[in-house]
Structure 1
Amino acid sequence: MQRPFLIAILLISVFCVSCIPYKDTLYLQNKEQATDSTNVLVEQQKPYRVQINDILNIRIKVTDQDNVQIFNPIGEGNLNATAGERAYFDGFTVDLHGNIRIPELGKLNVLGYTTEAIEQKIKEKLLAEQFKETANIFVTVKLTGLRFTTYGEINGRGTKTLYQDRVNIFEAIANAGDIPDTGNKKDVLIIRQYPQGQKIHHIDLTDVNVMQSPYYYIQPNDMIYVKPLKQKAWGTGTTALQNIGAIATVLSLVTTSILLFQRI
């Protein structure tokens, strides 16, 4: 009687431990209050400062537009090129020293500047070297899409580019196919580039307060890594039903093996 009882206890333990808790699969939980409530959370986003390898889209407009054709890429070299390819060839890439090279204006250091500050720098340089105030210079500087990479326990691994000014972590993950139940939503890693190197930041996507995190909005060249849960390494199912099937299969194999040995 003791052996079947011990086997039953062992199977129940495996069953309970190997299941992924329901709360670990949910995003944006209100962990500070017992009841649901509507909270107003202030998003924290600082202006993005340009980094090495960023690609900038720069457009210059003046009263006589023919005078600025040399500054504005035509973008018709390859009509079959994708938007990303055109952005690469027509844009201005920030080199390892933080500089971009603009026709007639030469090198301009943009490392650590916001796009608004770069617009002002270009306008001042144009007024000092090329035009007068009466030219009515208008400069726009934008990032040529927000490029990021996802890998680990996520449905869509690889590099993606979204053509919008800001993207939060949930939008990035949704565009990567979402995180499966076997992915650790409580400790998602964001590897971010800084002038002094790369840093790793941790965020908990199951906590509603993630929207107040300074890393809630991703930045160009971010890498998002999702760690697998231990349950995946154990090779068990993610739900109770899957575990029942796995346990039944194991019991069937054990029973068959015992019967075969008894007949020998």
Structure 2
Amino acid sequence: MNKIKLYILFLLPVLLTSCVPNKDLVYLQNKNGTSVAPITASNQKPYRLQVNDLLNISIRAIDPKLVEIFNPSGGQAIISTPDQGNYLNGYTIDDHGNIRLPVLGEMNVLGFTTEEVRIKIETLLHEKYFKSEAGIFVIVKLSGFRYTINGEVANTGIKTLYQDRVNILEAIANAGDINLTGDKKDVKVIRNFPQGSETFSIDLTDSNAVNSPCFYLQPNDYIYVKPLKQKSWGTGKTGIESLTTVVTLLSLATTTFLLLRN
């Protein structure tokens, strides 16, 4: 009887500490205790282009033949192209911050937003080559929203989403979600700037995460989800798994003791 009590006293703390608690699994919990979370304005700033960014530039006109030279697709809108097509037909920003356009030549776009690049191209075309009657219409977009995710997620690697804005929850969902052994309370986001890189930390279990400067990602961000301590212990992610592990160890220890005793 005393041995049973001893086993129970041993099992309880192991079960309580080895399995992953529910509060570490749920996203965006309201930890302030209020029933309604306050509405806050988005703090996302426009993305400014950096070296090695890939741009898709489409120039249209009332007469498509006037702008065929500018468009690898012959003046037609690019609806959807594979990554290889984007690489071959897009404009990569070189180490000096320039892209090289047909007729227009070298153009510096480092630090510009895509909207500012669009205005710059339209202005040059109207000033040097076309009248307003030509109906010049320029589209400038990043060739997909690229980011890298690693650590405790279902699918690691370089990901591409074809949309202008991506938040960290969308990026994680696109990677198959965080594993049960992943630490949602301390997700790292490494972001490159012209002056260097900066590392952010975000607690995805807290509803205030939406106010973090890294909640909305920027192209080429690197996301790392570190493992919980439960993974290194190897006792299991749930109470059942932990109980099974402990019972197995106790059975092994008892069997070994009896064999040595005999």
Specify the code of the residue in structure 1 equivalent to 2:146.
R
Matched with 2:243 is 244
Q: Does 1:138 align with 2:137?
A: yes
TM-superposed deviation, 1:241: 1.2
Letter in 1 for 2:169: F
1:129 aligns with 2:128: yes
> Could you state the TM-score of these two structures normalised by the residue count of structure 1?
0.91
Report if aligned partners of 1:57, 1:141 keep a CA contact under 8 Å in 2.
yes
Aligned to 2:29: 29
User: For the aligned residues, what is the CA RMSD?
Assistant: 1.9
Q: Which residue of 1 aligns with 2:155?
A: 156
Residue 13 of structure 1 aligns with which residue?
13
How much does 1:244 deviate?
0.8
Query: Aligned equivalents of 2:20 and 2:63: distance in 1?
Result: 65
| Residues 1:224 and 2:237 aligned together | no
Q: Which runs of 5+ in 1 are unaligned?
A: 76-80
Write the letter of the residue equivalent to 2:219.
P
2:94 matched residue in structure 1: 95
Taking the TM superposition and a 5 Å limit, the aligned residue runs for 1:43-192 are: 43-74=42-73, 83-192=82-191
Q: In the alignment, what sits opposite 1:78?
A: none
| Gaps in structure 2 of 5+ consecutive residues | 75-79
Task: Report how far residue 249 of structure 1 moved.
Answer: 0.3
One-letter identity of the residue aligned with 2:107: L
Give the share of equivalent positions with the same residue, in percent: 53
C-alpha separation between the residues in 1 aligned to 2:82 and 2:39? 37
Residues 30 and 37 of structure 2 are in contact (CA less than 8 Å); yes or no, is this contact kept in structure 1? no
| SS across alignment from 1:183 | coil
SS of the counterpart of 2:122?
Answer: helix
- Counterpart Cα distance in 1 of 2:8 and 2:108: 70
Deviations 1:181-224 (A, max 9, x none): 11000111111111112211111100111112221111111111
CA distance in 1, matches of 2:136, 2:43: 33
CA distance, structure 2, for counterparts of residue 219 and residue 179 of structure 1: 20
TM-score normalised per structure 2:
0.92
**1:43·1:213 contact (CA, 8 Å) conserved in 2?**
no
Letter in 2 for 1:27: Y
